[in-house]
Amino acid sequence: MSRHPSAQGPSREWLGNAVVLGLLLAMAAALWLWQSTSPQFTDAPARWWLAAATVGVYLLCCAALAVSRRRALRPAGNAADDALPIVFASQTGFAAQLAVQTADTLRIAGVQTRLHALGDLDALQLQGFRRALFIVSTTGEGDAPDSAAGFERRVLSRALPLPDLRYGVLALGDREYAQFCGFGHRLDAWLRHQRALPLFDLVEVDNGDDGALRHWQHHLGHLSGNTDLPDWQTPQYRPWRLQERRELNPGSVGGAVFHVALTPDDPADLCWQAGDIAEIGPRHAPATVERLLDAAGLDGTRVVARDGSSDTLATWLSRSQLPAPADITDQPPHAIVAALVPLPHREYSIASLPADGALHLLIRQLRRPDGTLGLGAGWLTEYADLGARIGVRLRSNPGFHPPPDARPLLLIGNGTGIAGLRALLKARIAAGHRRNWLLFGERQRARDLFYGDELQQWERERWIEHLDLVFSRDQPQRIYVQQRLREHADRVRTWVAQGAAIHVCGSLDGMAGGVDAALRDILGVSTLETLTDSGRYRRDVY
């Protein structure tokens, strides 16, 4: 429902005006009587009652005007308006351009949006938002863009409770500057301080990096419920091979989870750090492509060139959004390939180190409502044959790299989140750092303890000082990592006092929020904010 005046209809406006006019006439009559010499108004009590009634009517008019003005000023993005506000602050235009691109992407996914310049917003509008995306750059030496400097002075300098707001921040910057994404981080910290809840963690973009922008798109996909939208910029995949695939949890009540190992054609591609992300180019099942080719009466073995590379028509189709058979039936293969849109990438936390000689991924098979497998899981866990070529691009994720020193490290996660934590543990062991505490949750110990032998061996060899495993369904009452964290509140405080960093990897829904709330209660809001600001509390949650 819109709050625009025209949508309320002229009759309400006329009625309102008529009421105000009536009240004004009543006041005029009262004032005339006040001055009158008529006997019933010459005695003092009657005159004072009349005066009080007149003042009361006047105050009522003022209050009605204030309420109607407040309503008229309320922004388009309030609870009554479903359009998702996309708020941007740009110095040289890139953030503004990405705001438009974000709005276009969400529109394709069926989400209505509304663009706002941050500098034009006021506190009242912000309080009206239930969800919002912020796309902001940093200029000068960590400054807000000029157009948003006033907003920072007016709004960010004060408290403004925003407990009903859920938000995401895309922070543009350049790592060459000392205060990388400084304004984005200040905005994010302020929003968190006002008790707004992040939809996902802040995404930093270094110098327009395509990979970070694809990560933002990945979040837009989840936000809109459509994860199959084309990438803004297709990754430059490198050729890797599927070397190993193993189901880790047969019989689990959850979705099947696979350990997948990939090896590069070029050994120089074995180059990443613990905490980094692999972007994978998914493909359709061969049977799906064959059905399309049969229906369109086409020969899939025809070789076609595009953008300097050659492949069969079937291979081109397997990497692309599939057209309807009728749209390609009488088309020449080169015209079909020229019109194809590449499938979007899929992201996975890397579970190994280059020293392992392979990229290890942990992938849960997720199914769409119609029962078919999702794009990435389908390709990597079911359709690709061993030895098949897999397109991979590695993305640095500095926000989740291990601490550079021997400080204690508290690793918390659930489900496939163990992937990123395993890489961090391997890096800690390689560096000789023993003060590691792993707190991991899944459903049943007998089925879902991924990499259990390895973890227990690390514990025996004292590479893991504390190994806390929490299985939600192994006892009548459900327990999760956040409860176990609370049980160990004293140890958490001791470790943090000793300089520990905290890394969280796994589900955004449930786990990450629960752990965040537990840490707030255990350490206090201001300590947790300090840990976040100093990079000692880091998350890779999805």
Ligand X SMILES: Cc1cc2nc3c(=O)[nH]c(=O)nc-3n(C[C@H](O)[C@H](O)[C@H](O)COP(=O)(O)O)c2cc1C
Q: Pick the closer one to ligand X by CB: 17 or 207.
A: 207
Residue 102 binds ligand X (CB under 6 A): no
Q: Pick the closer one to ligand X by CB: 142 or 254.
A: 142
* Least distance from ligand X to the Cβ atom of residue 399, Å: 14
Tokens in use for 500? 């520990």
Please give the residue whose beta carbon sits closest to ligand X in the complex: 173
Tokens in use for 335? 């015209």
Tokens in use for 3? 């709050």
Q: Pick the closer one to ligand X by CB: 87 or 172.
A: 172
Scan for tokens 């809109």, then name that residue: 224
* Least distance from ligand X to the Cβ atom of residue 104, Å: 17
Q: Which stretch binds ligand X (CB under 6 A): 37-45, 173-181, 220-228, 392-400?
A: 173-181
Q: Which of 104, 120, 122, 174 binds ligand X (CB under 6 A)?
A: 174
C-alpha 487: how far from chain center: 29
* Least distance from ligand X to the Cβ atom of residue 208, Å: 6
* Least distance from ligand X to the Cβ atom of residue 105, Å: 18
Q: Which of 86, 144, 181, 470 binds ligand X (CB under 6 A)?
A: 181
* Least distance from ligand X to the Cβ atom of residue 101, Å: 12
# chain residues binding ligand X, by CB under 6 A: 22
* Least distance from ligand X to the Cβ atom of residue 179, Å: 5
What single string gives the DSSP state of each residue in 426-468?
HHHHHTT---EEEEEEES-HHHH-TTHHHHHHHHHTTSSSEEE
Per DSSP, 41 falls in state G
Sheet holding 501-506, edge to edge: 466-471, 436-442, 409-414, 501-506, 537-541
d(CA 431, CA 413): 22
Q: Pick the closer one to ligand X by CB: 181 or 421.
A: 181
d(CA 415, CA 381): 17
For residues 391 and 280, is the Cβ–Cβ distance under 8 A?
A: yes
Residue 180 binds ligand X (CB under 6 A): yes
Q: Pick the closer one to ligand X by CB: 89 or 470.
A: 89
Q: Pick the closer one to ligand X by CB: 90 or 532.
A: 90
d(CA 465, CA 452): 16
What single string gives the DSSP state of each residue in 272-299?
--TT-EEEEE----HHHHHHHHHHHT--
SS3 state of residue 74: coil
Q: Pick the closer one to ligand X by CB: 140 or 333.
A: 140
d(CA 523, CA 256): 36
C-alpha 292: how far from chain center: 35
Residue 58 binds ligand X (CB under 6 A): no
**What's the start-to-end Cα distance of the chain, in Å?**
32
| Structural element, H or E, at residue 54 | helix 44-73
Q: Which of 95, 99, 261, 427 binds ligand X (CB under 6 A)?
A: 95
Q: Which of 85, 87, 90, 395 binds ligand X (CB under 6 A)?
A: 90
Residue 145 binds ligand X (CB under 6 A): yes
Q: Which of 68, 78, 127, 179 binds ligand X (CB under 6 A)?
A: 179
Scan for tokens 């009361």, then name that residue: 56
* Least distance from ligand X to the Cβ atom of residue 153, Å: 18
Within 201-240, the residues that bind ligand X by CB under 6 A are 208
Q: Which stretch binds ligand X (CB under 6 A): 65-73, 167-175, 194-202, 422-430?
A: 167-175
Between the CA of residue 180 and those of 184, 185, 509, 539, what are the distances in Å? 9, 9, 28, 18
Taking CB under 6 A as the rule, which mask of x and - marks residues 103-142 in contact with ligand X? ----------------------------------xxxxxx
Q: Pick the closer one to ligand X by CB: 85 or 300.
A: 85
Contact residues: ligand X, CB under 6 A:
90-95, 137-142, 145, 172-174, 177, 179-182, 208
